[in-house]
Structure 1
Amino acid sequence: MIDAETSYQAVSSRDARFDGVFYTAVRTTGIYCRPSCPATTPKRQNVHFYPSAAAAQGAGFRACRRCRPDTSPGSPEWNVRADLVGRAMRMIGDGVVDREGVTGLAARLGYSERHLTRELVAELGAGPQALARSQRAHTARLLLQTTELSATDTAFAAGFASVRQFNDTMRQVYGLTPTELRRKPTRSAAAAVPPGAIALRLAHRGPLAAGQLFDFLALRAVPGVEEVTTTGRVRSYRRTLALPGGPGIAEVDQPRGQQGRLDCRLTLTSLRDLTCAVQRIRALFDLDSDPDAVDRRLGADPVLAPLVAARPGLRSPGHVDPHELAVRAVLGQQVTVAAARTLAGRLAARYGEPLPVPSGGLTRLFPTAAALAEADSADLAMPGARQRALRGLCAALADGSVDLAPGVDREQAAASLLALPGIGPWTVSYVRMRALADPDAYLPTDIGVRHGLRAAGATAAVDDSAWRPWRSYAVHHLWAALNSQEAKQN
């Protein structure tokens, strides 16, 4: 939590970089806002700052209807930090408390409920139940305003235990009843959303290098599982999702210009998966990043400075399924991106669970680790050593001896991966960077990184320690520099 005077300066200048980092509560109105709220700046003596929306709600403040602070990007701190609080926040965001309760969250983290609650309250002003409750309220508001679900169905879909709890929470958080919160979509908005889909706007901070982000995903899109389409002037990334309640489909539009958000549509088997699906899409597009902090650090390096200037807001894409990403990392060992994608597509066609109803080019989920552990050798067009590495990885993922779930201890996960035959430092670093959303993973032996350094004009060994804690972003800048050079040559 930054100091109060700096916070007030951010509020006075309506600095959107701090949205989601802290929340501003005004005693005279009983309302809490994001720092960039366009309302008149309150007097300093009337303002109190909270590190989380849940803390502001617990203190009796309700969300501003103008700036909608519950839609702020998540704090960039949680991916950077590997301590108990950072890991807990990643798990809460993925919906672990809604599915398994605080007991399940504490068990996953390896701490008692009491200790976990004490740590979260000390740093965020709210315990795990209150943080999850705040998240449920946001999910319920989305459902009320984007679907035709009844209030009762919305309550249980959002994860509330009872309608009474749902009603009380919505009145406390928003100052309105569920009926008052519901609004009918405009005709144009309704026409743009497929039947059964939920339309969302996913906020992000600062600039977003959208073209490079969508190009990166398009180049690696697995046939049947992912696709990039263009309708009119709108380019969209679409993919299937393996969610706790059943398969889903996500569709995200590439923005034109800097809108501060991505338009997204989700089609879910179970609406209870909404929170989980949103969090996974945010991780895939790295929407909780702080691009100003990243660009400031990397832009100070003489090798990276021109690359940062050319692509401000470059993201480090995560993934929606850590098991899928780990498998694809092994498939990509010592082969081109195109070859890895082709092999992944063949395995998906052979072992992936078909969707109940295909959607465009999306026909199936990516195969589970358990299914690939038993894959026929004839379907694995790779050397024997890599086949054994793939089978060993999939068996370890299937039996839980390697855990890549959100919030896992990254060092422990890396050690477990390295203990498997055929899994080396490159694979582990790639998994850390994308499956575990580590902002500081580096791939010094990667051929693309080496060629990218040459393309950037590096004539000697570089000191990558100067890039910490954003080395994952440096990797993407070097890959982008290489791709740009190859495009010019062609």
Structure 2
Amino acid sequence: MDDDSRYEAVRSRDGRFDGVFFTGVLTTGIYCRPSCPAVTPKRENVRFFPSAAAAQRAGLRACRRCRPDAVPGSAEWNVRADLTGRAMRMIADGVVDREGVEGLARRLGYSVRQVRRQLTAELGAGPVALARVQRAHTARVLLQTTALPVTEIAFASGFASVRQFNDTIREIHARTPRELRAAGRGRPAAEGGGVALRLAHRGPYATGAVFDFLQRGAVPGVEEVTGEPGARTYRRTLALPYGHGIAEVGEAGGGGWLPCRLHLTDLRDLTTAVQRVRRLFDLDADPYAVAERLGADPLLGPLVRRLPGLRSPGAADPHELAVRAVLGRRLAADAARALTGALVAAYGKPLPAPDGSLTHLFPDPGVLADAPLTEPGMSGSRREAVRSVAAALADGAVVLDPGADRDEAERTLLALRGVGPRTAALIRMRALCDPDVLLPSDEGVRRGLARIGATAEHTGNWRPWRSYALHHLWNEEARRPRASSFPAPPNPVSAIPRNTATTETR
């Protein structure tokens, strides 16, 4: 886009571009999302920025009306596999907060100088400034949804000192932390504890199909889906850098967001937990770009138009997803769930107290690498495959973190015992959130292609959104009478928030 087309998007308040670029208004000193409902500023008074950090670097503060810090992340970072895309996924996961810029550069395999130069060139800000925006957003959420002391919030948000926290909040929000907290006091008190959030997404969202998908693969002890269709809650346990948590996501959202509640043992994990839930529910996707490509296809188009906003769910824990993919290969959905549930009960870390049917964290790869794995239904070849993958994850031979090189990860997986092309591709699609994976050898995909009259060669027309095409084929198969034999890919998440005290979050 050029600046004139960006301005037209602002004039039309086009929500499709929220998070893609930010609008800076020089006369007011604020920056907004393109869909901000305020009066459209004059063209000569507007500048455009590729990131919120770049707008803040130019001395602008966040708009209090449209809250540009709460927009969905750019879908570009999931599509791109280059240095910038990988870095942005890792910054969102909190790597800079936990390990610094040096840790980020080390994970990416580049020098600190090169990472800074590349991000500044493309996004107008370096990794520290990008992480700072994220910290400020986390701080606002905690200030307005919890009763924690301001000092505790400062460190829980990732700030190194209270002074740095105060200065950043005043700079970005033009309010002190206490004033920002007072501005959120009009919200009803939260029931059920935890941090209540609104997880923003752009465009339509096919919640029913996504919750169906997650419910089919929910692992006992780790995940559950409660409630009736249309009002379900997906709940799951999360193993996090500083502790553990339970995430609850509701099906009955609306207005461009899904309700969520996070129960965390350490609030420093808030940013990481939010990003992992967002990846699981594919909330940063661009459904308009997906529909433009897939909807124009004469064979797949009818399925896309029948179910607008269908997402390609990722994984809350990539290591968990990899183990589940290997464990469930060539098993029916119910058998895979039962076997995985037995694995969780035997080797997972128990919660301090059960929460509904949630009782354990998924087993750590290091534990599974040395486990006997004698559960009923665990064949010798399956046992060796699980141990092989778990050992590779535990010693770092296979890297599945948000910034991993997808091609390298798939090559390394294929070299492991018991991992075939379908399993490696499934892990790439779910654990690494690759939007362009098809799984042509999958039984459900083959039946779906035959049903719409498409060949494997024809699927090349669906790039770079073949993962979404795959879910349309799977969803269509699930609607058929043979749905009981439909292979539900391994998957994590479940829950429905218990109240209305929410705030927007990416």
TM-score range for the pair, normalised by the shorter chain length? over 0.9
Q: Report the more deviating stretch, 467-476 or 480-489.
A: 480-489
Q: Does 1:230 align with 2:243?
A: no
| Superposition map of 1:469-488 within 5 A | 469-486=464-481
Structure 1 CA distance for aligned equivalents of residues 105 and 187 of structure 2:
45
Structure 2 CA distance for aligned equivalents of residues 461 and 131 of structure 1:
41
Preserved CA contact (<8 Å) 2:208 2:230: no
Pick aligned residue for 1:352 from 343, 348, 358? 348
Instruction: List per-residue Cα deviations over 1:217-246 (Å, max 9, x = no partner).
Output: 011100110000118973100000000111
Question: What's the counterpart of residue 216 of structure 1?
Answer: 213
| Superposition map of 1:377-396 within 5 A | 377-379=373-375, 381-396=377-392
Preserved CA contact (<8 Å) 2:449 2:455: no
Specify the SS of the correspondent of 1:60.
Answer: coil
| Superposition map of 1:302-317 within 5 A | 302-317=298-313
Preserved CA contact (<8 Å) 2:406 2:428: yes
Preserved CA contact (<8 Å) 2:208 2:229: no
Question: What's the counterpart of residue 255 of structure 1?
Answer: 252
Q: Report the more deviating stretch, 145-154 or 329-338.
A: 329-338
Structure 2 CA distance for aligned equivalents of residues 459 and 171 of structure 1:
56
Q: In structure 2, what residue type is equivalent to 1:448?
A: G
Question: What's the counterpart of residue 105 of structure 2?
Answer: 106
Structure 2 CA distance for aligned equivalents of residues 104 and 381 of structure 1:
41
| Superposition map of 1:407-422 within 5 A | 407-422=403-418
Question: What's the counterpart of residue 39 of structure 2?
Answer: 40
Structure 2 CA distance for aligned equivalents of residues 273 and 10 of structure 1:
35
Q: Does 1:451 align with 2:450?
A: no
Question: What's the counterpart of residue 116 of structure 2?
Answer: 117
Question: What's the counterpart of residue 85 of structure 2?
Answer: 86
Instruction: List per-residue Cα deviations over 1:291-342 (Å, max 9, x = no partner).
Output: 0100110111122111101110000000110000000101121111221111
> Could you tell me how far 1:87 is from its partner in structure 2?
0.2
Give the root-mean-square deviation of aligned CA atoms: 1.7
Preserved CA contact (<8 Å) 2:295 2:302: yes
Preserved CA contact (<8 Å) 2:477 2:483: no
Q: Does 1:435 align with 2:431?
A: yes
Question: What's the counterpart of residue 195 of structure 2?
Answer: 198
Question: What's the counterpart of residue 269 of structure 1?
Answer: 265
Structure 2 CA distance for aligned equivalents of residues 219 and 459 of structure 1:
26
Preserved CA contact (<8 Å) 1:50 1:125: yes
Structure 2 CA distance for aligned equivalents of residues 233 and 83 of structure 1:
39
> Could you tell me how far 1:383 is from its partner in structure 2?
2.7
Q: What number of residue pairs does the alignment pair up?
A: 485
Q: Does 1:327 align with 2:319?
A: no
Question: What's the counterpart of residue 59 of structure 1?
Answer: 58
Task: Determine what percentage of the aligned residue pairs are the same residue.
Answer: 64
Specify the SS of the correspondent of 2:303.
Answer: helix
Q: In structure 2, what residue type is equivalent to 1:464?
A: T
Q: Provide closer, same or farther for how the CA distance between residues 380 and 321 of structure 1 changes in structure 2, counting only shifts above 3 A.
A: farther
Question: What's the counterpart of residue 281 of structure 2?
Answer: 285
Instruction: List per-residue Cα deviations over 1:424-471 (Å, max 9, x = no partner).
Output: 11011100100000000110000010112233x316555111000001
> Could you tell me how far 1:376 is from its partner in structure 2?
1.8
Question: What's the counterpart of residue 236 of structure 2?
Answer: 239
Q: In structure 2, what residue type is equivalent to 1:468?
A: R
Structure 2 CA distance for aligned equivalents of residues 339 and 488 of structure 1:
15
Structure 1 CA distance for aligned equivalents of residues 71 and 482 of structure 2:
37
Instruction: List per-residue Cα deviations over 1:185-211 (Å, max 9, x = no partner).
Output: 6788424x312x000001000000000
Structure 1 CA distance for aligned equivalents of residues 462 and 450 of structure 2:
17
> Could you tell me how far 1:375 is from its partner in structure 2?
2.2
Question: What's the counterpart of residue 498 of structure 2?
Answer: none
TM (normalized to structure 2)? 0.93
Specify the SS of the correspondent of 2:105.
Answer: helix
Preserved CA contact (<8 Å) 1:322 1:435: yes
Structure 2 CA distance for aligned equivalents of residues 419 and 302 of structure 1:
38
> Could you tell me how far 1:388 is from its partner in structure 2?
1.1
Specify the SS of the correspondent of 1:79.
Answer: helix
TM (normalized to structure 1)? 0.96
Identify the structure with bigger relative contact order (alpha carbons < 8 Å, sequence gap 6+): 2
Structure 1 CA distance for aligned equivalents of residues 184 and 355 of structure 2:
24
5+ unaligned residues in a row in structure 2: which ranges? 486-506
Q: In structure 1, what residue type is equivalent to 2:192?
A: P
Question: What's the counterpart of residue 27 of structure 1?
Answer: 26
Q: Provide closer, same or farther for how the CA distance between residues 154 and 371 of structure 1 changes in structure 2, counting only shifts above 3 A.
A: same
Instruction: List per-residue Cα deviations over 1:40-85 (Å, max 9, x = no partner).
Output: 0000000000000000001000000000000000000000000000
Specify the SS of the correspondent of 1:405.
Answer: coil
Preserved CA contact (<8 Å) 1:380 1:387: no
Structure 1 CA distance for aligned equivalents of residues 484 and 127 of structure 2:
53
Q: Provide closer, same or farther for how the CA distance between residues 31 and 187 of structure 1 changes in structure 2, counting only shifts above 3 A.
A: closer
Structure 2 CA distance for aligned equivalents of residues 392 and 331 of structure 1:
11
Question: What's the counterpart of residue 492 of structure 2?
Answer: none
Structure 1 CA distance for aligned equivalents of residues 101 and 278 of structure 2:
23
> Could you tell me how far 1:377 is from its partner in structure 2?
3.7
Q: Provide closer, same or farther for how the CA distance between residues 317 and 234 of structure 1 changes in structure 2, counting only shifts above 3 A.
A: same
Q: In structure 2, what residue type is equivalent to 1:234?
A: A
Instruction: List per-residue Cα deviations over 1:235-289 (Å, max 9, x = no partner).
Output: 1000000001111000000025x42100000000110000000000000000000
Question: What's the counterpart of residue 497 of structure 2?
Answer: none
